[in-house]
Amino acid sequence: LGSRGILDILERLNAGEVVVGDGGMVLQLERRGYVKAGHWTPEAAVQHPEAVRQLHREFLRAGADVLQTFTFYCSEDKLELSGNVTDITGTQINEAACDLAREVADEGSALVAGCVSQTPCYLENHNEAEVKSLFKKQMDEFLKKDIDFFIAEFFRYAEEAAWAVEVLKTSGKTVGATMCISPHGDMSGLPPGDCAVRLVKAGADIVGVNCHLDPTACIQTVKLMREGLERAGLKAHLMIQPLGCHTPECNLTGYISLPEYPFALECRSLTRWDVHKYAREAYEAGIRYIGGCCGFEAYHIRAISEELRAERGFLPPASEKHGLWGAALEMHTKPWVRARARREYWENLLPASGRPRCPSMAKPADE
């Protein structure tokens, strides 16, 4: 048991438990008016703590076992480059984000993950010492707040992700690492299996993918990572937190190449029933840390929790306001709506877009 009397992340995963992650913070807060698109920096942790706190609380209520600190793109070089934060330091943001995540996590039995992400510095000069110094600064700030474990997320290059893992591992805490890559591999062409091997050799305890592509593509990528680890004789727990939008075009750079990015993605949103299917497929693929990234809202996390309720042994508080597989519709006054109060209906539904002249798929900008 950890210092707060709950199992830590590795104890849960080693015991075969399903760990439900949280959903997307940056995109949801942008839609709610607290994050500026393009910059995507997390100063709202200082400027609007009530908004960050509420979103954490919704994910916790939906069944999340882990709350990630709202520290995406919070390296000093990114904050400076964005020009969006002139009177708030990275330290202030990191510390405030840790406090908010901890406050809400302690309302349940959730863990807090301190998160670092890719840096502009890496693409600018590939200076290992400089990049690692940025990660170390964030790590030291997180350690002052006694987070439970670390996640290095949203990396497009295995090299930079491995550097992050190497730094975070010096803390002595568990480290997870997720890359925003497709089944084609990272942006240097390194296959997913080799990316996973590099991350585990750097010290990662948990590896997988997050963001950029939909559940179908992400599950395929994690399977390739698992195969690479097996070939190398290495072991690690598997983690997945995909995009909450359909991206069947499955282009190398992900949803940022779609013409709808970032202000018209709603037409591609996953339904809760899509998430039920995703959660089951991820579980059957041997993935035990299952969550979501950009586009995943609280009801999507609830869908993961409900789909895996037998494996977890309980339902989340948010399920008190949701009839499983539409069961609450049995009370509807319209007979054709009452007929939808069954699993078979929702599992076989093919949702229409309602947009007469819209194509089913788009031509990505990078093709």
pLDDT of residue 155: 98
The CB-side HSE value for 111 (13 A sphere, CA atoms) comes to: 27
| Per-residue pLDDT reduced to its tens digit, 225-255 | 999 999 999 999 999 999 999 999 887 789 9
* Mean pLDDT, rounded, for 144-163: 97
Residue 227 lies inside a defined structural domain of this protein: yes
Residue 331 lies inside a defined structural domain of this protein: no
Share of the chain above pLDDT 90, in %: 89
The whole-chain average pLDDT of the chain stands at 95
* Mean pLDDT, rounded, for 278-293: 98
Residue 357 lies inside a defined structural domain of this protein: no
* Mean pLDDT, rounded, for 137-166: 97
| Per-residue pLDDT reduced to its tens digit, 106-136 | 999 999 999 999 999 999 999 999 999 999 9
* Mean pLDDT, rounded, for 207-216: 97
Asked if residue 98 belongs to a known ligand binding site, the reply is: no
Asked if residue 293 belongs to a known ligand binding site, the reply is: yes
Share of the chain above pLDDT 70, in %: 98
Please answer whether residues 46 and 284 qualify as being in contact, where contact means their C-beta atoms are separated by less than 8 angstroms: no
pLDDT of residue 79: 85
pLDDT of residue 1: 46
Number of domains the chain is built from = 1
Can you tell me which residue has the tokens 């041997």?
Answer: 286
pLDDT of residue 7: 79
| Per-residue pLDDT reduced to its tens digit, 3-21 | 455 679 999 999 999 999 9
> Encoding tokens for residue 118?
């890719």
pTM for this predicted structure: 0.95
CATH of the domain at 200: 3.20.20.330
CA distance 161 to 118: 8
pLDDT of residue 2: 47
Residue 252 lies inside a defined structural domain of this protein: yes
Structural domain span for residue 283: 9-324
| Per-residue pLDDT reduced to its tens digit, 32-66 | 999 999 999 999 999 999 999 999 999 999 999 99
Asked if residue 218 belongs to a known ligand binding site, the reply is: no
Residue 77 lies inside a defined structural domain of this protein: yes
Please answer whether residues 10 and 32 qualify as being in contact, where contact means their C-beta atoms are separated by less than 8 angstroms: no
pLDDT of residue 104: 98
Residue 332 lies inside a defined structural domain of this protein: no
Residue 360 lies inside a defined structural domain of this protein: no
* Mean pLDDT, rounded, for 88-99: 96
Residue 345 lies inside a defined structural domain of this protein: no
